[in-house]
Structure 1
Amino acid sequence: MMFEPGKDQCKKLVFQPAERNKQPILETLLKHIDPNSQGLFLEISSGSGQHVVHISEKFPNIRFQPTDVENIYIRSIKAHIEDGCLKNVLDPLRLDVSEPPESWGEGTMRAASFDYVLNVNLTHVSPWICTEGLFRGCHVYLKPKGLLFTYGPFAMNGIISPQSNVDFDKQLKIRDPTWGLRDIEVELKPLASRFDFELVQIHDLPANNKLLVWQKK
């Protein structure tokens, strides 16, 4: 992690992994979202804010709602938005996916109001209850046929590959036994089905990550 210089040194955070993956994520989103389309886009667990400011520039007619559970990230997101003078990015809201959906966004969000949801690097660094909460809440807030994008490293049919991801999974579980790479077939698809989501595409991205595209029925 490094901090941006200047007056927002204690607020605006910049993470190198986000710098590396923000463009591949954007390029993949462009395969599913027309850059001229309108709509409302929710980012869950926005972290530093690097993703939302980068992505929003390519979709000027879409309004973006960043969120996070940590105040340090809320401040960072605000600093990135201010620096970018972005008119289509709303002020960040507090959102904890482990809480009931009605509490999301401090109770200000409307059901079935979002066209798209993006979540980056949450499922493997949080307890399973957070992954359940992610799909439960998106079932409430996404419109019918809306798209949920989840990014990160995943297992498939009980197999984790390559070895770097195996090692990463072990490190995560040493840190917290409730963390770890989630299995697309064994865990995520059955969970998604419970909340009326279907996996429509899997994109392989750099650094052994994937972007999964889920559509609400």
Structure 2
Amino acid sequence: MSETQTSEVQIADPRPCIDPNPLSPYVAWAGNRNKDPILSVFKGVFPKTGNVLELASGAGLHINYFAPHFPEIRFQPSDYDADVFETIKAKRAESGNENVADPVRIDLTDEKTWPDPKDGLYDAIFVINIFQVAPLAIIDGISALGAKLLSPAGFVAIYGPFKVKGEYTTPSNEAFDKEILAAGVKEWGLKDARDLEKAANYHGLALKHRFDMPANNFILQFARA
């Protein structure tokens, strides 16, 4: 497993209260904070051409920010909540992104909602900032979907804050986790990267790289074992 270090960025905007609603000020703040560091990594790992699927696209901030940098890639946004689709389309129109497809509904717990591999495979699948407010079981869906839909050289990239080998990587991540847990919502809280790895292994995927990101986050990159 290799690690790539990205440069720190300084964000002056105050953080809104934690709210996982995809249209919330907190999600917009987090997206604007991390979009450039994530883009920097994706520029090094995305293919020059192909198809890329985003899971849990939310308001569509990331996919519409990334798309102009990869004009030969077709980007497919998706989400469990179809109510966000008009927001994704509006951001697409605002950015003039002709390489962003109409969003589709994907429920990671229901394989019947997943795209049919006969309609095409994906060279990359990515998901950003869901595991601190989503059940660990979602990695089973992501891994199974990846095993079904990835091209032979494709990969899954998962961005977020994680524990590593049961430990917090920094005091700030421990404080962040305590803040999340204080909300008292079942399944909220930082997950351990090794638990994601175990679930991915079960579906034939292996952790290939862990990219260290600003603000004590990571990108975990999984590909076929």
TM-score range, shorter chain: 0.7 to 0.9
Aligned equivalent of 2:162: 154
TM-fit CA distance, 1:48: 1.3
TM-fit CA distance, 1:17: 1.2
Match for 1:17 among 5, 15, 30? Answer: 30
Aligned equivalent of 1:183: 192
Structure 1 unaligned blocks of 5 or more: 3-10
Residues 46 and 124, structure 2, Cα contact 8 Å, conserved in 1: no
- Report the TM-score, using the length of structure 1 for normalisation: 0.85
Deviation string 1:43-77 (CA, Å, 9 cap, x unpaired) is 00011111001111111011000011123422211
Deviation string 1:143-200 (CA, Å, 9 cap, x unpaired) is 1221111000010111013122112222333432322212112x11111111111111
Structure 2 unaligned blocks of 5 or more: 1-14, 17-22
Residues 117 and 148, structure 2, Cα contact 8 Å, conserved in 1: no
Work out the CA distance in 1 between the residues paired with 2:93 and 2:24.
10
Choose 17-26 or 68-77, whichever is displaced more: 68-77
TM-fit CA distance, 1:128: 1.9
Q: Give the partner amino acid of 1:16.
A: W
Relative contact order (C-alpha < 8 Å, sep 6+): which is higher?
2
1:28-47 paired onto structure 2 within 5 Å: 28-34=41-47, 37-47=48-58
TM-fit CA distance, 1:111: 6.8
Work out the CA distance in 2 between the residues paired with 1:56 and 1:199.
25
Identity of aligned residues (%): 31
Aligned equivalent of 1:68: 79
Match for 1:56 among 67, 77, 81? Answer: 67
Q: Give the partner amino acid of 2:179.
A: Q
Residues 136 and 196, structure 2, Cα contact 8 Å, conserved in 1: no
